[in-house]
Structure 1
């Protein structure tokens, strides 16, 4: 879904809440929303994930994009685990082929994560008077996460309409997922057009001084840059 601003004046500025993980997809969505004229308010989430790199990246991207406000919501999902991103006892998959990635929902899936994120975003959006929530989910990313698919996003749009005062009064907060049908190469190409500072982003599932280069997220990202004949400016341990 591409929510494009039609009219914007000083009196009718359009506000958008953008879920910003600091990765390739969410950073591209932020720059897309900004280019379309939205006043952007970004949300990042410290849910005690495996590393802090993405939180630092999100803050740097938000600053580079000149957002109106950047907030970090903190809560703890490590206590119940259930994912390689919240439980150190579960290994992050490495060196998998694209076919292996698409075979089943991987252990890097965090139970109900996007539902949790979108719930916070809804409350924040209604509080600041935003008309739209943007997020960078992608259904063609081989991971097959259940909360990155079109039917899920459509269901959450109904929640946004039914669960808020704005929605009940006929002014429901929209959910925009402009990259949901994009290939990773198309996202990189769009990000280049929009001037996304890739060197500030972080996609790796592991923490460290440099990205690992072998987890699913790194491999998908590196493959996209390589297919376009580009070099990813992020440093990788495999280089």
Structure 2
């Protein structure tokens, strides 16, 4: 395979995806997003990871309109990030259309840089988010290809690369350990504290995954 642009948040899933992409693609780009998230510190970790990975280029895209969307705990200052595990329904940390927005922006870079793949580290088993499911990825891919200037000119396709669909957080961690992902350089806390809070759903997922393989999460050491 040729080129890929990886959605890089700075967390363990996207870092693992980045290291997997390094192994499977000839040319790797990364893109991160500043959308007014409370845990904006994740971007500092994303920059470190992109540098360590030696990506071709790392883009930081600003999404101003998401800053103004109320009703979710990641961008609304009046809503606290809950200290609980993920519920069965879409959690309060759901930012409306976030992954769809991310993919559409990444697709614009694909058109300019002639990149054939967009990597996103969604994993449907561990999360109830609607935009972390297979039907979302396939629908987004269809829309991207219907909109792409590059696809129109070259008669090729852009693939939304989702190798973690159907995998658990533990599966991803085990793969990352094999790939040598520097997990001490990753950050996953939704509250944005240093050190991580250890109580929000994403912190709990991380801790449980590391514990399951007999390791301590380096975020808390």
TM-score by length of 1: 0.88
Tell me what 1:11 maps to. none
Unaligned runs of 5+ in 1: 6-13
Instruction: From 54, 68, 79, give the equivalent of 2:56.
Output: 68
Residue 6 of structure 2 contacts residue 118 of structure 2 at CA under 8 Å; is this kept in 1? Answer: yes
Tell me what 1:31 maps to. 19
Please give the secondary structure, in 1, of the residue aligned with 2:43.
helix
TM-score by length of 2: 0.95
Q: Using the alignment, how far apart are the partners of 2:89 and 2:166 within structure 1?
A: 19
Unaligned runs of 5+ in 2: none
Instruction: Write out per-residue CA displacement over residues 108-165 of structure 1, whole angstroms, 9 at most, x where no aligned residue.
Output: 0100000100010000011011111111111011x31001100010101111221112
Q: Using the alignment, how far apart are the partners of 1:224 and 1:42 within structure 2?
A: 25
Instruction: Write out per-residue CA displacement over residues 204-239 of structure 1, whole angstroms, 9 at most, x where no aligned residue.
Output: 101122000000000011101101111111127xxx
Instruction: Write out per-residue CA displacement over residues 50-71 of structure 1, whole angstroms, 9 at most, x where no aligned residue.
Output: 1321100100100110101011
Tell me by how many angstroms 1:168 deviates. 3.2
Tell me by how many angstroms 1:166 deviates. 2.8
Q: Using the alignment, how far apart are the partners of 1:75 and 1:185 within structure 2?
A: 31
Please give the secondary structure, in 2, of the residue aligned with 1:234.
helix
Tell me what 1:212 maps to. 197
Answering whether residue 146 of structure 2 is matched by residue 146 of structure 1, we say no
Residue 82 of structure 1 contacts residue 111 of structure 1 at CA under 8 Å; is this kept in 2? Answer: no
Tell me by how many angstroms 1:78 deviates. 2.1
Tell me what 2:109 maps to. 124
Please give the secondary structure, in 1, of the residue aligned with 2:4.
strand
Tell me by how many angstroms 1:82 deviates. 2.6
Tell me by how many angstroms 1:81 deviates. 2.1
Q: Using the alignment, how far apart are the partners of 2:112 and 2:50 within structure 1?
A: 20
Q: Using the alignment, how far apart are the partners of 2:181 and 2:24 within structure 1?
A: 14
Residue 43 of structure 1 contacts residue 71 of structure 1 at CA under 8 Å; is this kept in 2? Answer: yes
CA RMSD of aligned residues (A): 1.2
Residue 4 of structure 2 contacts residue 119 of structure 2 at CA under 8 Å; is this kept in 1? Answer: yes
Tell me by how many angstroms 1:181 deviates. 1.2
Tell me what 1:10 maps to. none
Instruction: Write out per-residue CA displacement over residues 168-187 of structure 1, whole angstroms, 9 at most, x where no aligned residue.
Output: 35211111011111111110
